[in-house]
Structure 1
Amino acid sequence: MMVFNVFGRTIGVKAAESGWKLYRVDLTENKHSPLRGYVIPPDVELNDLTQWLDDIFHEMATAENSEVKRLK
């Protein structure tokens, strides 16, 4: 699973048969749970995931958390 800091929230992205699945991630406890309500189209390429997350979650941006970064 790839893990991203999305404007201060830790979100995981995992490849699935239908494209990509999103997860809430707790790195301190090494746990994750499905993040429902979001669908990453299957044609989004691996290299485009950071931009896709930025486009979808940009409302969460703050002065302190103003970007999306891949953590792992």
Structure 2
Amino acid sequence: MNEFRFRVFGKLVAVTGRPGARRAFYLGPEGKRRPADFIVPKDIADADLAEYLGDLFHEDATPRYDSVERLD
């Protein structure tokens, strides 16, 4: 199972699975995860996840957190 982690305008988000069968989670500071309140459409490719998350959450941008970063 693939897992991609992102810092989305300051929030830690993980997206697991493969296209068509993805689940999204918010990551807590202690390593806990809770189900996210959004879905990732089945036609979003792995390479396009950061752009999709940026489009979805652009209203959460602040001067301090103004981007979506993929974390390794």
Give the TM-score of the pair, scaled to structure 1: 0.86
Equivalence for 1:23:
25
SS at match of 2:44: coil
Instruction: List alignment gaps of at least 5 residues for structure 2.
Output: none
Give the TM-score of the pair, scaled to structure 2: 0.86
Aligned residues: 70
Tell me the C-alpha RMSD between the 2 structures.
1.5
Instruction: List alignment gaps of at least 5 residues for structure 1.
Output: none
1: CA distance, partners of 2:19 / 2:10: 28
- After the TM superposition, which segments of 4 or more aligned residues of structure 1 sit over 2 Å from their partners? 16-19
Residue identity over aligned pairs, in percent, reads 31
TM-superposition CA deviations, 1:29-48 (whole Å, max 9, x none): 11111112x12111100000
Equivalence for 2:34:
33
